Structure 1
Amino acid sequence: MTELSLSLTRIVNARPEKVFDAWLTPAMLKRFMVPCEGGGVPVAESDARVGGHFKIVMFNGEKNIEHTGTYLEIDPHSRIAFTWQSVFSLDDSTVTLDFRPSGTDKTELTLTQVKFASESARDGHLKGWTLIVDQLAAMDEDVLLPG
């Protein structure tokens, strides 16, 4: 069996340091980690250091779903990697975010997640991550807070 994974890339209208910092700042996580229309993020906590933990509680329109993880890699303005744990993911699933400058004041953001229990679990995560990354990509740089 091959390992199931997903990857998506978007251009964000902000410099890499702003996009990078948004993924580590609870106030920003609450703004774009919304998994569906009508959803929200009532809780976002981040101990942004290698070995530090995060907790993001997403409201999917019906119930709260807790997501937790541990930061595995934080390479300022170029890469963040972390474990991703929820009721819908395997304990050893990981997410990697790569940030690359793109043109003037833009960032190419690539999100990759590996290890899923099934193709439907992967497809569900792809749908959620696509909405999340699209929401971040729609933000202008002046909206993104400094880290």
Structure 2
Amino acid sequence: MLNELELTVTRTIAAPREVVFNAWLSPVTLATFMRTAADGVEARNVTTDPVKGGRFMIVMVTPEREIPHSGTYLDITPFSRLSFTWESPHSLDDSVVTIDFAEPFPGQTEITLKQVKFRSEQARDGHIGGWTAILGYLDGSLMTA
């Protein structure tokens, strides 16, 4: 079944686990990296209520349109795990993203991001590219912070 499709993206970032974890919960920081690789895409109107059951909203803006992304925090385990629903025009309503944060070496964070449930293989593959770009922007934003 297509809704059983999933993806996993990993990246090691040269920043402490606490810093990387907190970047996902701060609307200011989230706005700096929550965008895709497409030219001219940026995140606006970013809000977070970082408690279990709290909501977040990210509007990705392209030159042609606005694409809303939102969700509900399911698990916030400080510095080790973040899980939330992922609601976007490109995902199934019950899609879930889980991010695990590990510290293989002091001052480095390994992120393992997993998302489950997609409309199609093409949608999943598009999300692989999107999440890979987002983790790259996260890495870049923390290097300049």
Do both proteins adopt the same fold according to a TM-score greater than 0.5, normalized to the shorter chain?
yes
Q: Which has the higher helix share?
A: 2
Tell me whether 92-101 or 2-11 shows the greater mean CA deviation: 2-11
Q: Describe the superposition over 1:80-133 as per-residue Cα deviations: whole angstroms up to 9, x where unpaired.
A: 000000111100000001000121201001110000010011011111111101
Moved over 4 A (4+): none
- Separation in 2 of the partners of 1:61 and 1:69? 24
Gaps of at least 5 residues in structure 2 are none
What's 1:102 paired with? Answer: 104
User: CA-atom RMSD, angstroms?
Assistant: 1.3
Would you say the 8 A contact 1:13–1:138 is kept in 2? no
Q: Tell me the TM-score normalized by structure 1.
A: 0.92
Query: Shift of the alpha carbon at 1:38?
Result: 1.7
Alpha-carbon distance change, 97 to 122 in structure 1, aligned in 2, over 3 angstroms: same
Q: Tell me the TM-score normalized by structure 2.
A: 0.93
What's 2:82 paired with? Answer: 80
Identity of aligned residues (%): 48
Code of the residue aligned with 2:5 in structure 1: it is L
* Number of aligned positions between the proteins: 143
State whether structure 2 residue 8 is matched by structure 1 residue 7: yes
Would you say the 8 A contact 1:12–1:139 is kept in 2? no
Query: Shift of the alpha carbon at 1:135?
Result: 1.0
